[in-house]
Every structure is written in C-alpha cells, then in structure tokens.
Amino acid sequence: MNAVEIRDLTVKAGSATLVSDVTLSIESGTWCTIVGPNGAGKTTLVETVAGLRRIAKGSIAISGHSLSSLHERERARLVSLVPQHPEVPSGMTVRDYVSLGRVAYHGLLRAPSAGDRRIVETVLERLSLLEFCDRDVVTLSGGERQRMVLGRALAQSTMVIVLDEPITGLDLRHQMEILELLKTEVQECGLTVVATLHDLTLAGQFADRLVLLDKGNVVLDGPAREVVRSPELSERYGMNLRVVDVDGSDVVVPVRH
C-alpha cells in the first residue's frame, strides 16, 4: 500500500485554481520533494495533504484512509506537519512543546500516559534536544527551534510527515543537520516524507523523487537525479541552470545570461 494517494486533486481559493488535477502515488518509506517556481502551488499541495485545505475536486488517501472522511484526531495519527512558519508560544518548555504531538492520542483534557512520556523522551534524545528540554522555547536558536518543531511532528508517531520549506532561515550547517535527521528517519524508521524545498541542490541530494510543479500542474515526476538534470527545470524556472557533478552529487548552479 502506498503511503499517500492523490487522485485528480484540485484546490481552489475563491475563483482561483491553486492546484489542478494532480495525481501522485507516494510509496511508504520514501522521500518525495515538490519543487517549482514561486506561485507553483507547492505549499497549497502539501497543506492539502496535511488536511489544512479544502479539496475542491478529487481525493487524498493516507495509508489507505480517505482524508475527507477522517476526524481531526484521526488525521493527526496518520499525518503530521512541519509548517514553514510554525507558531512557537512563549512560556512553554521544549519538552512541553514536543509533548503537544501526543495530544492526538490522549486528548486535551487528559494527562499524557507513561507511554506518551516515553515517546516524547525518545524523540528528545533522538533529536539531541534533551540538553535544553527545560528551556523556554523562545530562547532557542533557529536550528534548535526547527529541531524542536520536527520533534513535535515525530512525537505524533505518524508514518507520513509533511514539511513546507523546513530549512527556511537556517544557516548551511543547520540546514544539513535537519535534512540528515529526516533522512535517518526515512532510512531507519520507514518514515514517508513529503516536502517542499527551494534549494534544488539539496532537494536532489536528499529526496528519492522530485515532482516539478508549475501553475498548479505536475510538469515532471521522477527520480531526483533525472528531474534535476531535465531541461524542463530551467524552462519552468525561467533561467539557465547548469548541473555540476561534485564528488558524485549533483549541484544546481544558476548561470547568468
């Protein structure tokens, strides 16, 4: 069974069509990144997969369950989200923030169980968050904060995680750190990642598969190396892109006309 099945998906905002007739099947335990120019519909697509947007036409299934038929808590047990601009309230510790990922299981009015607490501690340890788990969330650096937001999503124990530009605003070291953490989860835990990334080099290096989106339509869908090296990429971004092999990895370089 595929982790995510998208069939003839159309999403609108008023009279504007943001995503049009998109069909994708994403295998369990793989990393699929959506790329494309600004306004292509990338954020709309991943937010709809996470259940945040209304479907105008078509369907989405997560692990065989129709998204439109799920209640919020049921959906939260199947798919988690790391948004581009997460809300991080002051006055909350890192441990408490990560623990919010367990609310889908114990509800708002009941205390977390011993099992919930064990899961949170495991996530904190896995993401190297234990050393500052009692700090106020607003005192964290950008990289620490993004690890914490990822920790909340992983604490939901879903097999599908959706990320919208998870490395925005991070320096190069912290970008690589977050992406390496995710890759480890895919390889060792069978997590399915559906992400958007602006950086085409990193998108190609970490994803198993790239989907090129433009004006709400799927233009290209295939193995990351093939999509990165496709002439369609330059055409859709409206610029000259050159792909350079550096120690076996493709590096996408914009070239001045």
Q: What is the mean pLDDT of residues 17-27?
A: 97
pLDDT reading at 205 higher than 90:
yes
| pLDDT higher than threshold 80 for residue 168 | yes
Residue 226 has a pLDDT of 95
Which residues are bridge partners to 93 per DSSP? 136
- Neighbouring residues of 5: CB distance < 8 A, sequence distance ≥ 6: 24, 25, 26, 59, 60, 61
Q: What is the mean pLDDT of residues 231-247?
A: 92
Coil, helix or strand at residue 223? strand
Partner residues linked to 79 by β-bridges: 160
**Domain ranges, ordered by start, for the chain:** 1-78+159-257, 86-157
DSSP string, 24-45: EEE-TT-EEEEE-STTSSHHHH
Note the pLDDT of residue 143.
87
Containing 116, the helix (H) or strand (E) segment is helix 114-126
Query: Per residue in 67-121, pLDDT tens?
Result: 999 999 999 999 999 998 888 888 899 999 999 999 988 877 677 889 999 999 9
Backbone angles phi, psi at 50, to 5 degrees: -80, -5
> For 1-78+159-257, CATH number?
3.40.50.300
Average of pLDDT values for 50-77?
95
For residue range 139-150, list pLDDT tens digits in order: 998 889 999 999
| Mean pLDDT across 172-195 | 94
DSSP 133: T
Whether the model clears a pTM of 0.85, i.e. scores above it, the answer is yes
| Predicted local confidence at residue 105, as pLDDT | 86
* E-strand stretches of the chain: 4-13, 16-26, 31-35, 57-62, 65-66, 79-82, 160-164, 192-196, 209-214, 217-223, 240-246, 249-255
